[in-house]
Amino acid sequence: RFDPGYHRIWPLILFSGGTGQFVGGTVSPGKIRGDRTQTSPEFCGVQLVMIVMPAIDLIAGRCVRLYRGDFTQQTTYEKDPIEQGKAFQTAGFSRLHLVDLEGARDGMGRNRQKIQEVVKALDIPVQVGGGIRKRQDIIQLLGAGVHYLILGTSILNDPEGVTQWIDEWGPEYFIASLDLQRGELCGEGWVEQSNVALREVCEQIMSWGIPQVICTDVERDGTLTHPNYQTYRELFDCFSGSVQLVAAGGISQPMHIARLEKIGIDGAVVGKALYEGDVDWKDFVNAG
């Protein structure tokens, strides 16, 4: 059932007829390069399903959640990130979304050691974002066993550098992150507004061949309300189904995931609802 080739073909594949399983792993620069495939509900007899990912955000090595991306409105949780990740894995989630919020804001990678410890402790794939601004960051994180690297600020501020990274490693190990506040792109940990037009960035992402895009509606993040469905409809149209879209921000009920799937969204990140909500985690696991 395990085929490394699927990593370069369709990163969010889950095998039908049993427990979902991800494929792939870290590689040396340029070792694996692959062609893209068209979006399809089934590929090579493998059923594609929506994936629901739990989120761990880190500040000072602790699990935290922000309210609408505001660093002054921070909730810190007692459970250690390693134990939190293990709990999510035990519940049945098949991939972890892990973000260094301090790294996203200042690019310093202050939580890199904790990230490595979390990745080492888990069997499920981990996607990591926050502070990935240099080639050395990529080498370090892939070498630590991170499966996918989330690029946000780098895409806005250093597209030439991103092009070089994709030429070196291939697009399969990168996830493009689009963080929106009131419909405008922002970077630097949601602190700085960008002057780059959304459609321009979408076209650049498609030209790179990055297969996964995560969009966070910052105004909904940490609110326990509901997603901004219109935002995801517009993004789906912008990409014309050429990438896998993952929604984040305001997803607090399994019904939100079902509605996103009808729009054409391929994945969802759930955060505060898993820490403070009243929904059983299994309901989110099974919502995909």
pLDDT average, residue stretch 195-199? 83
Q: Is 179 a catalytic residue?
A: yes
pLDDT at 224 over 80: yes
Give the pLDDT of residue 218. Answer: 84
Partners of residue 53 on adjacent β-strands = 269
**Cα distance between the two ends of the chain:** 21
Query: How far is 262 from 239, CA to CA, in rounded Å?
Result: 16
Q: Please give the mean pLDDT across all residues of the chain.
A: 83
pLDDT at 34 over 70: no
User: Using 50, 70 and 90 to split pLDDT, how confident is the model at 221?
Assistant: confident
Give the pLDDT of residue 45. Answer: 41
- 150-154-159 Cα angle (round to 5): 120
**Of these residues, 100, 137, 179, 221, which one is catalytic?**
179
* pLDDT tens for each residue of 109-143: 889 999 999 999 999 999 999 999 999 999 999 99
Give the pLDDT of residue 27. Answer: 43
pLDDT at 107 over 50: yes
**Alpha-helical regions (H) of 151-253:** 153-157, 159-169, 198-208, 229-239
Question: pTM of the full predicted structure?
Answer: 0.84
pLDDT average, residue stretch 27-36? 38
Query: How far is 16 from 62, CA to CA, in rounded Å?
Result: 36
Strand, coil or helix: 192 = strand
For the chain, helix, strand, coil in percent to 5 are 35, 25, 40
Residue with more model confidence, 30 or 74: 74
**Alpha-helical regions (H) of 67-197:** 81-91, 101-106, 112-121, 135-143, 153-157, 159-169
pLDDT at 20 over 70: no
User: Using 50, 70 and 90 to split pLDDT, how confident is the model at 105?
Assistant: confident
* pLDDT tens for each residue of 206-217: 999 999 999 999
Crossing angle of helices 198-208 and 159-169, in 10° steps, is 20
Q: What are the φ and ψ backbone dihedral angles of 261, each rounded to 5 degrees?
A: -65, -35
Structure tokens at 189: 């940990």
Query: How far is 165 from 45, CA to CA, in rounded Å?
Result: 32
